[in-house]
Structure 1
Amino acid sequence: MAINLVKGQKIDLTKGRSSLSSIMVGLGWDPVTTKKSGGFLSGLLGGGGGGADVDCDASVILLDESGKLSGKENLIYFGNKKSKDGSVVHSGDNLTGAGEGDDETIQIDLKRISPSVHRLVFVVNIYNAKQKKQDFGMIQNAFIRLVDNQSKEEMIHYNLTENYAGKMSLILGEMYRQGTDWKFSAVGEGTIDPDIGSIANKYA
């Protein structure tokens, strides 16, 4: 059974799972639905009924021991879907976030991760957020979950419950090394960075 995390909580992924070698990271979100009767919120989101046309993109930033992004090849997103060592593979872009379940997934092979990589930061940002005047107040039900690929067991699930209005990017969580173990931290921080490049620059 998955452990439901709260913001700031940390958990040891490898404790009791000595055979853990491959993880699927699922990220999901839904557009905020509006009532067909219209009104201020409906007009703000662009019409009556349905939801906002918001394109969210998931990314992973691979950091070294000092917390730095050592090169653009360590930024995994829809434009660079596979890490150089093949340990991190992105499923590709989902343009709408409609429907239940994971909207984008990332496969992580723990045995292949370069020894120089110590932290993986999972980010979701809104594509062209500034140009479209969109923010995460138009998105609901954002989550991140980790699944053991071998047993198919969902290990952890973290639902982001805060109001992220005005934020164009979310840092959902981080995986990091501690000795030979891998741990996960539920971050849940919103930022005003308009694109993944702006977030990546913070780690340069």
Structure 2
Amino acid sequence: MSVNLSKGQKISLDKEAGTALTRITMGLGWDSIKTKGFFGFGAKTESIDLDASCVLFDDNNSVADIVWFRQLKSRDGSIVHSGDNRTGAGDGDDEQIGVDLSKVPANVKSLVFTVNSFTGQNFSQVENAYCRIVNAGNNQEIARFNLSVQGAHTAQIMAKLYRHNGEWKMHAIGENGSGRTFDDLMPQITPHL
């Protein structure tokens, strides 16, 4: 059973999954822009390159590592990116970041997931954009967050996974921003740590 997350909501991943989670997948999906021509002629599809990123923070709120399209795996191997999708074509998740929670180093206290429009279109032009967390053990969707809120922003801080009293929790941040990569969002991420 999936929980539709709203901005600012916090959940316990273990409670939502009904079991202790060891591996999760953050999925990002969207559709390319479809424009209509005159009288049905000249219709075209414009590709959108959204990028999912995961920034790992340590106990001192310093960046410990980053997983994104230029570095598809964390140095310790606990987090792996599926690769850069530059169009949004096809059904289902267009990009995925897999996390083995049992292998995330003990000094990492939080994982912040972001999405950026690398090609610069704002989200009012992006259709059916979402992120979701899936229990990778049984492919059960635990939580979903709708990103297609109409607006002129080009980025969003999606969610934060963090350790709390020995379990992983999730905070659906849903804060809009602007920028082509996660780096542009760092000043906005810091207050959420």
Listed one character per residue, the Cα deviations across residues 13-48 of structure 1 (whole Å, up to 9, x for unaligned) are 01264432111111111223222238xxxxxxxx95
1:107 aligns with 2:94: no
1:1-204 map, 5 Å: 1-15=1-15, 17-37=18-38, 48-70=42-64, 74-129=65-120, 134-165=121-152, 167-200=153-186
**8 A Cα contact 2:51 2:118, kept in partner:** yes
TM-score, normalised on structure 2? 0.87
1:181/1:48 Cα in 2 relative to 1: closer, same or farther (>3 Å)? farther
Structure 1 segments (4+ residues) deviating >3 Å: 16-19, 200-204
Shift of 1:140: 2.0
1:197/1:102 Cα in 2 relative to 1: closer, same or farther (>3 Å)? same
Structure 2: any 5+ residue segments left out of the alignment? none
Alignment RMSD:
2.2
Structure 1: any 5+ residue segments left out of the alignment? 39-46
**8 A Cα contact 1:158 1:186, kept in partner:** yes
> What one-letter code is carried by the residue in structure 2 that aligns with 1:21?
T
Listed one character per residue, the Cα deviations across residues 126-174 of structure 1 (whole Å, up to 9, x for unaligned) are 2242xxxx32222121111111122221111111242132x22111111
Between structures 1 and 2, the one with greater strand share: 2
The count of aligned residue pairs is 188
TM-score, normalised on structure 1? 0.83
